[in-house]
Structure formats: structure tokens, C-alpha cells
Chain A
Amino acid sequence: MTVRDAPGILLVEDDAETRQAVARVLADEGYRVVGAERGETGTRALKSGQIAAVILDVSLPDASGFDLCRDWRAAGVRVPVLMLTARTDVSSRVRGLDAGADDYLGKPFALSELRARLRALLRRGSDPLRPRVLNAGDLTIDFGRRQAWLGRAEIPLTRREIDVLERLAWARGHAVPRGDLLEEIWGESTPEATASLEVIIARLRRKLERGDRESLIRTVRGFGYALAVPPGGPTP
């Protein structure tokens, strides 16, 4: 891969030292990194260069990362955005997703996790019509708020369980390899993480496939899992 066709990553981060360190790590991985200290320079770089993905810090000297991302989306920018936030609680997740970010990572982060998220983001691309809510029969799952209902009764789904469902929903019925799920959600493919994924699939089935409901999660043997989305598919 030459520098010309290496994927361009825009890194908008105001702390110079962090920016340089991340840039060097990503450059070692073969990415072409464009650094920006402020939101304004970031926006300019996004418009001028070949950018495959953006890593965007939430707190910038001249703008909030949320506002910046919303402006880009309003201007029709389809590049996937990974948001760097101080905390990864529900409220900042909802804010980030509302602003049009595709993923987010809490600071300080592990480099391995940053790499994994970035790889996943580049593989998936940004999908503006990505389902935020899944409707299947009387099952409703709001991925942003991490809540699920079966009819009018709320179903208790944990963060991991929702993450797995969300990732499967994005594939719109196509099977998602087990390794992708592990890397994107657990950040590692250790035997422990694999066991944990299996436990979560079992729990999801127990909670969501009651009585004579048809199976919601399909196991693709030796490959991964797929969502058996009913006719009509997930509504965006």
C-alpha cells in the first residue's frame, strides 16, 4: 500500500502531545494521518483531502465536537466519525449519536481499542440510514437510549446485549462474523470474550424469543450470527 492510497484519517484533537502520539501510532499502522488542532482547521481538512474516517475530540477550543459533527452531517459529509469523549455514559452516547457520530471512545483509551474501532469503522463505513431503532413484530429496540420493549413491557437488556443486537441490526440480515463482533464490542478475541459472546447470545434469545415467536437471532455455523429480520426490515 502506498501513501497515496492509504486511508486518510483526520484527527481533530487540541492537545498537541496526544495528537502527535496517536498520529504516529496510526502512521505506523499504515494510515495517512491529517492532524487538526481546532474545529475550523478540521473542517477545512475534511473538505480538501481524501479522508476515510475522522477521530474527533469532544472538547475543542473553538467548538464542541458534537456541534461540529452535526454541522458536517448537515453539510452532507458521509465520512464515519469516531468521537473521543470524557465519559461513555448513556447521555453522552445519545448526544454523540444524535449529532451523527458513528462510534465513541472514552478518554484515556487503550491504543488497541482505538485501532479496533477504527478498523471496524473503515470496514463498515458511515451509514446515514443506519437503524437507530429496530422494530420486529411487537419488539422495539432503541439503540440510542439502550432500551427495549416487547409490546408495552420493557425488556431489561444490558449494554453488551444491546451492542450485539445493534451490530447485527446494522448488517440488515447479513451474517456478522464472530471475530468482528468480538473486536468491535469486546476489543479482543480471547477465549474469555468468545465465551462471553455466547452467553450474551443465549441471554438475548431467552429474553426476546418467548413462546412461539420465531427465532430472532440466527446462528451461522462456523461463521457468526445474523438477525432474522422480519419482512419490512428495520426501520431507520
Chain B
Amino acid sequence: MRAQSLTTRVLRGTVFATLVTALAGAATAALLARGLWQAHERRALLDLAAGLAQAVEREGAEEGTTPESAAVEALRESVTSGHRAEVWRGQILIAASLAGPSIGAPGAAPSAAQGAWLIVTRPLRGGLLLVVASPREKGEEAFRVFGWSLLLSAPVCVVVAVLIGRLVGRRVTRPLLDFRDRIGAARPFDPLPPAAPSEVLEVAELEASFRRLWDRLQETVARELEFAANASHELRTPLTRIRLHAERARGALGALPGAAPSEELRGLVEEIDRLVRLVDSLLVLSRDSAAGIPAGEVVNVSDLVALASRRVFAVAPLPEIEAPDEALVRGDEALLGIAVENLLDNARKFSLPGRPPRVTVSEEGPSVRVTVTSPGARIAGDLGDRLFERFYRGPEARASHAGHGLGLPLARHVARLHGGDVRPLSAPDEDARFELTLPAWRSL
């Protein structure tokens, strides 16, 4: 489901509510108006019927006229203002006014009275029945008014509803948006910038619980960073001892008459050095990448690559290196060395046997680039940034190669500490290629 803006939701709700209210209001008003009109019309009919009855009386009072002729006379002389008046005896029409369609015999089927809206009857003397009716058009007019009022009020209502909805929506979401902006501006691992509590209760509560969560998280992260820093310092003492012992044992063995230099002990010392670099790596990873590093010294990346490749490819075929004499950056030589070494080590592990990796160093404008290509290796398209998660190891790495899943994250972390980055560059069907970029040296 797609997320929807709160403002939109409030707007929609307001428009809907306003429309429904407007419709109900218009319908009620129209019904009321119709009822009033009907009552008014009935009264007019009753008055008319009373007037006509009087007129018939008056005509009948003259010299010996029959009730029938009196009715005919009275209806001809009276003004009925658009209403129809008829006089019946039983089922026989005696007299009718000029205006309007016929109403039909009283007591006949209602279909006979189709042309009429309201009908009022009044008995006359001599068994006659006066029937007065207002025509259907007068009733239809009420419905027309109802329809028109709806039609006219609807757009006005919508406009008003949208305006109100916007206003309300903005007012409701403003504190939330403010909160969102404050959170967005906060740097990871930093305390949240202080802010006056929102005057909206729900937002204030939300912010309070968010702050509690943030503080707890920060505490945890700080503890872990401290642990990593302490651990890597604490590990140095035993590593120093072990290295000393190994070197002394090697020296002692070498001093024996006829003894060959011990490969095992040489390997042991190398492994200790690797372990020291891993410990250093943990310490580096424990630094916040946003913190950067002190100005540092001048480092020649071409030299770093040459040195790292001698170290990494001690037994495997050396990579093909293409580098200028100097590609200078500013930074921490040891850390940058670790980053380059990890990239090369990665290439060594994943290149097809017998096919040496390719490394190019170049300086292009404001950055120094190191690209490392592993022939035969592929970066699966869906892997992306997972490669840079700490302790993540691809299926291939888990299956066949040693490694701790820190190489790439470490290289990227060091690069970012220096204002650069490490990115995969190759398409899924190309030889795996990673690029390390660093800001080129420039005068401070």
C-alpha cells in the first residue's frame, strides 16, 4: 500500500464531510420548503373553494335559478388564478373553470387526477360537489428548486471544503513535519538538537518516546565503540608478547647447527602481523566515519599499491599494476594502506586461478582513483551494498575462501574517513571491479 500524506487524508476527509453535510442540508431545506409551499397552496385552494362556494350561493340566491346554472355562472365569473375548479353531481361534470386540465370525477381512480397536484373538495347545496385543484406544474416547481439549489451549492461547498481542509491539514501536520525535519537534520550518534516540546499532545508524546529510543541507541553504540577501542588496545599487549616469542623461537631454531630457517615460524609471525592489522581495523571501524581524520600527512597512493601488492601477493602471481610515479592524497598512511590492502586481498581471493588481478592508479582532477579488477569474478547485481555490510560474506566467500567479512566495509570506511568512497563498478556480466576514490592532495 502506498503511503499517503496526512494533509491529503485530512483534505479528503474534510471534502467528503463537507459534501455530505451540504447535501443533507440542501435536501432538508428543500423538503422543508416543499412542505411549507404545499401548506401554503392548500390554504390558497381552501380559500378559493370557500370563495367559489360563496359565489355559487350568491348566484343561487337570485330569482329561481337552479343550483346547476348558479354553479356555471359562478365559475364563469370567478377568477381562479391558474387553478382548476369543477362542479360535479355524482359522476356528471356540471361546470368547469377555463384554466387547467380536467381533474376527473371525484372518487374515480387516481389516474384520472393525474394532471393535478393538490385537490380540495367542498360540498355545495343541492348535492353538488366543488372540486378545486392546483396543476401538477406547481408541484414540480418545488422539485426544480430542490434540484437547482443542490446543483448550485455543490461547487461552492467543494471549494469551501478544499480551503478548510487545506487549512486544517496544514495545522494538523505542521508539528509532525517540524518533528520530521528535526530528526532528519540530526547526525547519527549525535544528541538530538534540543527543541521546545510541541504544543500538540500526540506529537509531544511521539517526540518524547523517540528521544528516549535515540538516547538508548546512542548509549548502546557508544558502549560498543568504546568496547572495540578498548579491546584493540588490550589485544596489543598479548600480541606484542606472542610476536616476541615467535621471533625469538625462530632465532633460536636458526642458530642450531645445520637448521634450515623455519617456514612455520615465519608464517606464524606473518599471521600475527595480519592479526595486528585486523585489530587495527576494528579500532578504525569503531570510529564514526562522519568524524573524519586529522589533516594527516602526504601519502603516495602509487607507493601504497606497490607495497600492498608485495604483501598480499607474496605467493600468488603479482597483479598487473598501472600507476603514475606519484598520486598524492592527504591522510593516514597506515589506514590507507589497510584499505588498499583489503581491496587487493579481495581481488586475490576472487580472481580465477592463474589470472592476475589488474590495478590502475590515476589522478583525475580533484580525485585519485584506484580500480581493482578481478578477472573471472562477478558481482551479482542484487548484492549491491550488502558487500559493504560488516561481517557479510557472499555465498562464494563462505564456501571457499578465508576471510572475516571486514575487508570491503573497512576499505569503504577508511575511504569515507578521508572524504572518498569505495564502490563496485562492474555490471553483473563483467569482471568484478571496485574503485577507491580519494580527494587528491592540495595545499591547505
Contacts and interface: CB of A to CB of B under 8 A. Distances in A.
Contact of B303 (A88, A91, A158, A162): A158
Contacts of A156: 298, 328, 330, 441
A77 interface: no
A15 B244 contact: no
A153 B300 contact: no
Contacts of A86: 233, 236
Query: Chain A, interface size: which category?
Result: 20 to 34
A186 B276 CA distance: 20
Interface string A16-37: 0110011011000000000000
B332 A89 contact: yes
Contacts of B233: 86
B444 interface: yes
A64 B240 CA distance: 19
A203 interface: yes
A141 B303 CA distance: 22
A95 interface: no
Interface string B424-444: 000000000000000001011
Nearest to A59: B233
B244 A111 contact: yes
B193 interface: no
A39 to B, nearest CB: 17
Contacts of A199: 325
Nearest to B276: A108
B299 A89 contact: no
B271 interface: no
Contact of A108 (B240, B300, B326): B240
Interface in A43-79: none
Contacts of A111: 244, 247-248, 251
A174 interface: no
A110 interface: yes
A18 B240 contact: yes
A153 B441 CA distance: 13
A15 B240 contact: yes
A124 interface: no
B167 interface: no
Nearest to A22: B244
A198 interface: no
A91 B295 CA distance: 10
A87 interface: yes
A154 interface: yes
Contacts of A203: 325-326
B345 interface: no
A151 to B, nearest CB: 11
A159 B297 contact: yes
A17 B297 contact: no
Contact of A158 (B276, B299, B334): B299
Given A111-B248, A157-B298, A158-B303, A17 B443 contact: no
15 contacts: A18-B241, A21-B244, A25-B247, A87-B334, A88-B334, A90-B296, A108-B236, A108-B239, A108-B272, A153-B443, A156-B298, A156-B330, A158-B298, A158-B303, A159-B299
Interface of B: 233, 236-237, 239-245, 247-248, 251, 269, 272, 276, 294, 296-300, 303, 325-326, 328, 330, 332-334, 441, 443-444
